[in-house]
Amino acid sequence: MSLVLENNESKYSKNIPNTRIESSGYNLSPGKYVLDSDMQSIHKFLKNENTSTLGQHIKIISPRVHRKGVDSGLDVLEIGAVDIPDRGYIDQPVKSTLLDKEIPNNFAKHNDIVVIAKGSTGKVGIVPSNVPAPGKDGWILGQSAIILRVISDEIDPNSLLVYLRSEIGQSLLKSITSGSTIPFIKLSDLKELRIIVPDVKTNEKISKKLKKEEDISQQIKELQGQQLALTDNIWNIQKRSV
């Protein structure tokens, strides 16, 4: 209480002008204005890097509401938090649904960055090159996800993915997450997120490492398949030979 009455700034409190609160959409979350030690370290680190705001380099695509319980429509797959791996590219989504109206811009495309903005906020993945074309069997967004589609030559999608899932990126995403019951990320705050703009050599290194990540992920899946097959026909009603 003394901090409020004294009206002095400290590492725990800050005097914020009304104009700044207004420009922030009247967001009164303390984390918006008072940074903890980790966030102070991150901001200090970013001052020495070539940075920009995320909104300058991407187009945000939000999910469209489609009819539920329909008997006919376009068969599509819906990307949700469960489909986003810790490493590598997004695998084929597990949830299928019927889309009553084809909306080309709502379909995921190669190199789109998918961010979970509601619920399991901060999960980030990238769409692989073998994603189906918009239309039947295409991939659409679940209601908790958004797409960041890179529209700038300065930013490489692979680098953006690695940045957003890094310790710095995750801390920044956490800092703009609101809501106590159901966490969510405001798109206006996401557009203002500071991102590092790597040079060409760094982009190339990151792309190679991401490719290696995906190769390892595929090897793991193949080994898991072999592992399951070892005992698949033992005491199985459908496969009786031992």
pLDDT tens digits, one per residue of 124-161: 999 999 999 998 899 999 999 999 999 999 999 999 99
Strands 194-196, 177-178: pairing is unpaired
Q: Is the pLDDT of residue 205 over 80?
A: yes
Encode pLDDT of 11-62 as tens digits.
556 666 667 666 566 565 655 655 677 888 999 999 999 999 999 999 999 9
Please say whether the beta carbons of 136 and 143 come within 8 A. no
Q: Is the pLDDT of residue 101 over 80?
A: no
Please say whether the beta carbons of 177 and 125 come within 8 A. no
Higher pLDDT, 104 or 212: 212
Whole-angstrom Cα distance, residue 230 to residue 13? 61
Give the residue extent of every domain in the chain.
Answer: 56-217
Rg of the Cα trace of the chain?
A: 22
Give the pTM. 0.80
CATH of 56-217, one of 3.90.220.20, 3.40.50.300, 3.90.1150.10, 3.40.50.850: 3.90.220.20
- When pLDDT is averaged across residues 177-205 and rounded to a whole number, the result is 92
pLDDT of 97 reads 87
pLDDT of 8 reads 59
Mean pLDDT, the chain, as a whole number? 84
Whole-angstrom Cα distance, residue 87 to residue 126? 10
pLDDT of 138 reads 93
Q: Is the pLDDT of residue 194 over 60?
A: yes
Q: In the structure, what pLDDT confidence band is assigned to residue 64 with cuts at 50, 70 and 90?
A: confident
Q: Is the pLDDT of residue 110 over 70?
A: yes
pLDDT of 179 reads 83
Please report which residue ranges of the chain form alpha helices under DSSP H.
Answer: 2-6, 18-23, 37-46, 157-165, 167-175, 187-191, 200-230
Q: Is the pLDDT of residue 217 over 60?
A: yes
Of all residues in the chain, what percent carry a pLDDT higher than 70?
78
Q: Which residues pair with 184 in a beta bridge?
A: 118, 178
- When pLDDT is averaged across residues 219-236 and rounded to a whole number, the result is 86
Q: Is the pLDDT of residue 241 over 60?
A: no
pLDDT of 17 reads 63
